[in-house]
Amino acid sequence: MIISKSTKKFPNSKLRFVAVIHWMLDVGCWMLDVTAKPPLFTRLSLAAVVIVALGLLSSSHLLTAEPPAPAAKVHQVPMLSPEEELKTFQLPAGYKMELVLSDPDIKEPVLAVFDGNGRMYVAEMRTYMQDIDGRGEEEPMSRISRHESTKGNGVFDKHTVYLDHLVLPRAVLPLDDRVLVGVTDSADITLHRDSRRDGVADESKVWYRGGPRGLNLEQQPSGLVWGLDNWIYLTCDSYRLRWNGNGAPLKESTPANGGQWGLAQDDYGKMWWSNAGAEKGLWHFQTPILYGAIDVANEKPEDFNQVWPLVGLADVQAGPLRYRPEDKTLNYFTGCAGQTIYRGDRLPPDLYGNVFLPEPVGRLIRRATVKVEDGITKIENPHSKSEFLRSTDPNFRPVNMTTGPDGCLYIVDMYRGIIQEGNWVREGSYLRGRVKELGLQNNIGRGRIWRLTHQDYQPGPQPHMLDETPAQLVQHLENPNGWWRDTAQRMLIVKGDRSVVPSLVKMAETSANHLARLHAMWTLEGLGALTPQLVREKLHDDHAMVRAGAIRAAETLLENGHPELIGDVQNLVHDTDPTVVLQAVMTSKRLEWPDWKKTAQAIVVGSPSQGVKEIGGQLLVDPPKIVGNFTERQQEQLQRGQEIFRSVCFACHGFDGKGMPMPGHDGGTLAPPLAGSKTVVQGDAVLRVLLHGLAGPVNGKTYGAQMVPMGANTDDWIADVACYVRKAFGNEGPLVTKRDVRRVRKANEGRAVPWTIEELSAASPIPIESHAGWKLSASHNPGDINKLVDGDDATRWSSNDLQSPGMWIQIEFPEKTEVAGLVLDSTRSPNDYPLGYEIEASDDGHTWGRPVLRGRGVDAVTDILFRKPVKIRFLRVTLTQTSKWNSWSIHEFRVLKPAVK
């Protein structure tokens, strides 16, 4: 410290050294008695001072180095006790929060569900973001715990670990005394049972084999919701599953649902989706997803996606784009997840049927009222420029909600600092800096579950359905709490006891409660006991939603040999209720009845209902298709790629590849457009981005989301989605194979950071546009050889003979030209690609050295990249294999040059 003070005024290194020597001599003189002979110890000390000075001289760079920049000051966000956190909640008058469970009994909870006896199963992601980089997330250290109120008073006093050593569990569905479970990085769903009744699962097996997954943690399915229609729905994946006794489940494809974390069902079996990546707080709720992911313009007010938090820390992934500059609060949905429809009976009735959507980034819960007007489902925030529930505690992280057996609302509070997965908190990201400044990475290992109650209501009784007979379960279908109805229906179907069929038929016919009639009908459908006679009666039920439900239920019979119901369903296109009309149209479309489209068009055009016009109009529009002449294998690959894109990539890039619009930013999108992108269609750039991600501005423009690495997926997965984006949205890029992915992966295996657009531009070969002075020749059909480079893919050069070794085409450049690769495009003659080839180079056209590259074609576009560029005058492509069926054709021949560094 003394040295630094003595030398601060000497910027020159030599002067600094002189100052140090001066200071040392001062010290030496202080140590010596200059009027006396120095003692031995003092002489040795002075010698040490000189040695130190010489050492400093030899390391003078230490004196010239600037002092290290001070680390950013950490304003550590404190963690509160549950009692302290309770004081931070802001709620409407009359409501209150009650603590149900807390750490250490649970840690890092992400969902809570109840079985037929009211026991709560909690999925605990105990390895989620335990440091700022998310190291060790995939270690099998997470669990599902079970919590029971042994006294039946709503106080959970018995705690067991139902399943341990899991990888980030994300989906739990109790059936009867068995439980379905889904975990991260696997599409498998397993079935478990506690046969010893000690709270620990001791029987396990795979129920659905989906195989491994490699998607980012935040882009994997959740849900496992047993729908009113007896199909099990998940987010992300474009399929639904159905219980099939003790065998493997049935599986059926659905349109892409656009969901991410969390899934909710309303009274009529319509699923409600949200997508945090796309900043979509509630969407695709106009129709059951089986018929399409449909949204209409006026389904919610323009300001619905704006949020109104109390915490202003600006700790949001998108940085300044997503917080208000005046108070640093989140301005729009960005973490929306874990929604539920309140269907209980122990809160004020004006909450029934409302959607509750947690926003963990904003530390709030949005309430949305729901109403159907003229066939259009509409939602709005009844708390103008406010929220139903907010907290001032930065660690309040509501990630899931559910209606409980007691009729109250349950809120899963992950209670932690970081709520974004590691890919969004990488080095160089805006969010990482804020996390460090606030010490949020230190706030881990906690978790709470809260119960929302009201001063005018008492929680309802605890169920004991696991101990009841099927006849007793039937009675619960009339319960005012939707949780009881759903659970009773599910358990009746899992039990498969058809002795209750007569009582179900009676309930479906005579119950005064239209919801009971609906559940009874669907329970019969699930038991395989639904008859055309009952369906025909329900098609004329007094309640429109029962009529609509009967049309849906009739699909099962129509698919299994009961065409006599077709006329009954078709007659309902003239129903007085728009929802019934739309359901009749949707069923006719799904079952592909003859002339369904012609009939539907007439209904849509002639209907006075705005809902029939808007939703029906969308039902009539066919989804965009990839047009081209592809082999069966290529079509399968493109179809897989499309499914991946519509499950994951659309959230930022939009279904049309033009970028998902970003609310609050006119013309702004979450990600760059893929349509017309050179990064997508040229070279290896798209593979590099898929494997390692993309950071920073693109062509000078900053977007709201960052492209995260997808390299954890298989080579096939990467190739499939790359092929799709190269052939969709009007793009005309060459297809890629898993060998291409493997090559690019290996070439960049040491890379740990995302690419920038500048790096990609420098790394990607580009076509040589000018063909001036080129001389082309060929061993076969040389008269057509110039069609290779005429810019018209409708023309082609063909060998006019079957492929055989030695067949060649050649280019002579006017001067030595640096070549990085070739593209042989045979898309319009998809089977005429070269089975095997070698590339040769020459300076004079006579002497040819060793081949630059050997390879084989695998599809209509042969994309050839050299290991390193070569500078040549003559280039020849020679076939090395024989084809018994195909000639060699090329519509467009492109020569690639290295990108400008």
pLDDT digits (tens, 9 = 90+) for 835-847: 999 999 999 999 9
135 pLDDT higher than 60: yes
Give me the chain's average pLDDT, please.
88
pLDDT digits (tens, 9 = 90+) for 802-835: 999 999 999 999 999 999 889 899 988 989 999 9
pLDDT digits (tens, 9 = 90+) for 852-882: 888 888 778 887 878 778 999 999 999 999 9
pLDDT digits (tens, 9 = 90+) for 617-641: 999 987 777 767 788 888 889 888 8
3-state secondary structure 804-873: CCCCEEEEEEEEEEEEEEEEEECCCCCCCCCCCEEEEEECCCCCCCCCCEEECCCCCEEEEEEEEEEEEE
182 pLDDT higher than 50: yes
687 pLDDT higher than 80: yes
pLDDT digits (tens, 9 = 90+) for 713-736: 899 999 999 999 998 888 877 788
pLDDT digits (tens, 9 = 90+) for 535-590: 999 999 999 999 999 999 999 999 999 999 999 999 999 999 999 999 999 999 99
Looking up tokens 């990609």 gives 760
pLDDT digits (tens, 9 = 90+) for 336-349: 999 999 999 999 99
Give residue 478's pLDDT band: very low, low, confident or very high (50, 70, 90): very high
pLDDT of amino acid 28:
42
- CA 92 remoteness from chain centre: 33
172 pLDDT higher than 60: yes
| Cα–Cα distance list, 330 to 314, 334, 644 (Å) | 7, 8, 30
Summarize the chain as % helix, strand, coil (round to 5). 30, 25, 45
In this prediction, residues 454-466 reach a mean pLDDT of 96
Residue 247 DSSP label:
S
| Cα–Cα distance list, 532 to 166, 525, 553 (Å) | 46, 11, 10
- Residue 379 phi, psi dihedral angles, 5° rounding: -130, 155
Looking up tokens 């313009």 gives 297
761 pLDDT higher than 80: no
- Residue 265 phi, psi dihedral angles, 5° rounding: -130, 140
For 740, the token pair is 């291409």
SS3 (DSSP) at 692: helix
Residue of higher predicted confidence among 86 and 868: 86
In this prediction, residues 88-97 reach a mean pLDDT of 98
Pick left, alpha or beta for residue 230 (phi over 0 → left; psi -120 to 50 → alpha; otherwise beta): left
Residue of higher predicted confidence among 867 and 523: 523
165 pLDDT higher than 70: yes
pLDDT of amino acid 366:
98
Please name the helix (run of DSSP H) or strand (run of DSSP E) that holds residue 881, with its range, or none: none
Give residue 791's pLDDT band: very low, low, confident or very high (50, 70, 90): confident
Burial class (CB in 10 A: 0-12, 13-18, 19+), 467: exposed
Looking up tokens 């007007």 gives 373
Query: 10 Å Cβ neighbour count for 718?
Result: 26
pLDDT of amino acid 33:
39
Q: Give the predicted TM-score (pTM) of the model.
A: 0.77
Give residue 900's pLDDT band: very low, low, confident or very high (50, 70, 90): low
Residue of higher predicted confidence among 701 and 412: 412
CB 721 within 8 A of CB 714: no
What Rg, from alpha-carbon coordinates, does the chain have? 34
- Residue 377 phi, psi dihedral angles, 5° rounding: -80, 125
pLDDT digits (tens, 9 = 90+) for 53-78: 334 333 333 333 334 444 567 899 99
